[in-house]
Amino acid sequence: MRLEDIMQFNRKELIKLLEICKPALDTQNRAVELGHYWCDGNNLSAYNGRMIISVPFDIDLVGGIPHTVLDWLKKTDSSNITLNHSDGKVRISAGRSRMDFVLLDDSRRIYTSEIHLDELDAAPIPVDAEMVDAFEHVLVSRDKQATAPAKLGVFLHPYNGCIELYATDDYSVSKACIAERNEIADSLVFTSHIVIPFPFVDQIIEHKDNGTLYITDTIVVLYAEPVTVISSLVECSNMPDFEGMINSFEAPLVTIPEGIEEGLERLYAIDGPINMTITDGVMHLTSEQAGSSAEEQFQLAEHNTGGIMVKLDPKLVKRVIKKCSRLGIKSRGLYLTGSGDFTHIMAALK
């Protein structure tokens, strides 16, 4: 074992770097390479087939590190760790504990994390509070099990002096708007819309304090010193008629009453669908399942005698209601609005 093959690191600092890259791992894929962290001597990175996350990491090690290293480090309590490597084999030692693994040969890495921001031919777009709020609003319509392209990310669509953001799942559509920006409009000049994958949106929100966004017609890049995130866009040439869907749900609005979130929490104990009715200025919420039932009533600020009942998914109601301030009710579902020009529609359960 050569002396230069023995390195020491602060355990918590190494865990931090691995955690940063972790969202770009794919440990469920049959491609073993996608479940490894990669070192190239200067950077630590991960790639899941769509998104790359890279951070600077000065280490005399080139190759793939299994994702299980992170869990092992978390279960040790030593302040510092020692890393020895020789002939493609690596040993990590922390106090009296050690872990041995084979370093995956660098030839099996199927991507490069190197990118030159000044060569992207894309204007830098600062990530600000308005952008983050808009992304957070539409994320309530995210289905992590979805496979259809239209349900894999957030649509950005320049329209009528603003940038519209849309997201959808099987039961809902969310819309938010931000002021038109020349940098975004210029990036979309050759297309009517783009779809940014949800995991990349997560990274925008994660690095909201110092992030800068770059958009091209094929990829999006986020740079947040010292982190670089690169992702391909979702291929979805036909944008659904989101505006038509939203308009079809429009209904007279009432102010969402105070205490409704607490009331819903009590109804969730029944574990059944939520039935909502508005009659004579009172909102009635009920739930019934397996012989158990519960009811909540709320006096409304507006007098509405709709008398319409709608059956709703309790989990979806819980996600959406906290972001909205007014709602309208139809037999087919809810029409909700909130601050920041946020609109949400939720289909009723059959």
Answer yes or no: is 117 within a domain: no
Answer yes or no: is 115 within a domain: no
User: What pTM, to 2 d.p., does this model score?
Assistant: 0.90
Whether a cis peptide bond, with omega within 30° of 0, leads into 226 is yes
Which residue, 241, 264, 280, sits at the end of a domain? Answer: 241
Q: Are 268 and 232 part of one and the same domain?
A: no
Q: In whole angstroms, what is the distance from residue 319 CA to residue 31 CA?
A: 34
Answer yes or no: is 114 within a domain: no
Answer yes or no: is 86 within a domain: yes
Q: Would you place residue 190 in the very low, low, confident or very high pLDDT band (cuts 50, 70, 90)?
A: low
Answer yes or no: is 128 within a domain: yes
Look at residue 30 in the predicted model and tell me its pLDDT.
83
Q: What are phi and psi of 278, to 5 degrees?
A: -120, 115
Residue of 184 and 235 predicted with greater confidence:
235
Q: Are 142 and 236 part of one and the same domain?
A: yes
| Residue 299 zone, left/alpha/beta (φ > 0; ψ -120 to 50; rest) | beta
Look at residue 307 in the predicted model and tell me its pLDDT.
74
Domain count, the chain: 3
Q: Are 235 and 258 part of one and the same domain?
A: no
Residue percentage of the chain with pLDDT more than 70:
96
The answer, yes or no, to whether residue 4 has pLDDT greater than 60, is: no
Q: Are 176 and 87 part of one and the same domain?
A: no
Q: Are 128 and 92 part of one and the same domain?
A: no
Q: Are 100 and 62 part of one and the same domain?
A: yes
Out of 144-148, 188-192, 223-227, 342-346, least confident range? 188-192
Look at residue 3 in the predicted model and tell me its pLDDT.
38
Answer yes or no: is 210 within a domain: yes
Q: Are 260 and 283 part of one and the same domain?
A: yes
Q: Are 130 and 228 part of one and the same domain?
A: yes
Q: CA torsion angle for 288, 292, 296, 297 (degrees, to 10)? A: 70
The answer, yes or no, to whether residue 285 has pLDDT greater than 80, is: yes
The answer, yes or no, to whether residue 304 has pLDDT greater than 80, is: no
Q: Would you place residue 5 in the very low, low, confident or very high pLDDT band (cuts 50, 70, 90)?
A: low
Which residues, in sequence order, are CB contacts of 217 under 8 Å at separation 6+? 187, 190, 191, 194, 233
Rounded mean pLDDT of 221-228? 96
Q: Are 153 and 208 part of one and the same domain?
A: yes
Which residue, 85, 108, 131, sits at the end of a domain? Answer: 108
Full residue range of the structural domain in which residue 295 is found: 250-347
Which residue, 47, 73, 108, sits at the end of a domain? Answer: 108
Q: Are 130 and 226 part of one and the same domain?
A: yes
Q: Would you place residue 65 in the very low, low, confident or very high pLDDT band (cuts 50, 70, 90)?
A: very high
Q: Are 235 and 274 part of one and the same domain?
A: no
Report the CATH number that the domain containing residue 131 is assigned in CATH.
Answer: 3.10.150.10
Q: In whole angstroms, what is the distance from residue 192 CA to residue 237 CA?
A: 9
Look at residue 199 in the predicted model and tell me its pLDDT.
97
Look at residue 308 in the predicted model and tell me its pLDDT.
84
Answer yes or no: is 116 within a domain: no
Residue of 268 and 4 predicted with greater confidence:
268
Q: Are 229 and 126 part of one and the same domain?
A: yes
The answer, yes or no, to whether residue 306 has pLDDT greater than 60, is: yes
Answer yes or no: is 296 within a domain: yes
Rounded to the nearest integer, the mean pLDDT of the chain is 90
Look at residue 7 in the predicted model and tell me its pLDDT.
87
Look at residue 191 in the predicted model and tell me its pLDDT.
77
